[in-house]
Amino acid sequence: MKRLSKLTALALLLGAGCIAIVAAEQRITTNPRPEEDLKRLFPGAAAFSPLGGDPLHFTAYAADPKASPSAPKLGIAFWTTDLVPYEHGYHGPIHILVGMDPKATIVGVVVDYDSEPYGYFSVEPPKFAAQFKGKTINDPFRVGVDVDAVSRASLSINSATRAIRDSSRMVAKTLLPELSTK
Asked if 64 contacts 46 with a C-beta cutoff of 8 angstroms, the reply is yes
Provide the CB-side half-sphere exposure for 175 (13 A, CA): 28
Inform me whether the pLDDT recorded for 22 exceeds 50. Answer: no
> How confident is the model over 119-144, as a mean pLDDT?
80
Calculate the CA 55 to chain-centre distance: 14
d(CA 161, CA 77): 16
User: What percent of the chain stands above pLDDT 90?
Assistant: 47
Bridge partners (DSSP) of residue 96 are 111
Quick check: bond before 50 cis, omega within 30? no
| Predicted pLDDT of residue 114 | 52
Confidence of residue 155 (pLDDT cuts 50, 70, 90): confident
| Predicted pLDDT of residue 25 | 46
| Predicted pLDDT of residue 91 | 58
